[in-house]
Structure 1
Amino acid sequence: MARVLRGGIYWADLSPVVGSEQGGMQSVLVLSHNVFNERSNTVIAVALTSKPQRAGFPLTLELDSDELPKNLGWRSARFAPFLQNA
């Protein structure tokens, strides 16, 4: 696996999906520590989206910032293979 760093935003293939999860190519933010990423060959990440979420998602956080080109939100994401930097 390529070196994936905490705080990095990468493209990940979130397929296959279970139920109504986000699928396909999505941008994700890496949360796990770099040592964990290297030793386990796994990362913990959350999917990013600029689309408003429907009511009822308990793990949705809206991020507002003048520095971002769009408002971004995140939902919990499962493990996924990383393909390239976003």
Structure 2
Amino acid sequence: MAKIARGEIWLVDLNPVRGHEQAGKRPCLIISVDLFNQGASGLVVVLPITSKDKGIPFHVKINSPEGGMKTQSFIKCEDVRSISVERLDK
């Protein structure tokens, strides 16, 4: 697997999910520190990204082409989760 760095955006398969969690294969921002990302746990901490503007004040807007995004998108800061690196696809 390629080196995973804090601040990068990776495509992530978030399925299966429960309840109102963000689902599907979508971009996510890596927020865990690099030392953790390269550690033995095999986990990273991410924030899912959506293209839907719901007017939520704690969604951080990303203007294309920032972060390699093709369209204006929003980082869902309320949806922090730890995931296996096996879910990542650059």
Same fold (TM over 0.5): yes
- Alignment partners' CA distance in 2, 1:61 and 1:3: 27
Counterparts of 1:1-86 in structure 2, within 5 Å, are: 2-39=2-39, 40-53=41-54, 60-63=58-61, 65=63, 68=66, 69-75=70-76, 76-81=79-84, 82-85=87-90
Question: C-alpha displacement at 1:66, in angstroms?
Answer: 7.0
- Alignment partners' CA distance in 1, 2:16 and 2:64: 34
Count the aligned residue pairs. Answer: 82
Alignment TM-score, normalising by the size of structure 1: 0.74
Alignment TM-score, normalising by the size of structure 2: 0.71
* 1:13–1:80 Cα contact (<8 Å) kept: no
* 2:62–2:75 Cα contact (<8 Å) kept: no
Q: Which runs of 4+ in 1 moved over 6 A?
A: none
Distance 1:74 1:66, change over 3 A: closer
Cα RMSD over matched residues? 2.4
The AA in structure 1 aligned to 2:34 is N
Structure with more of its chain in strand, by fraction? 2
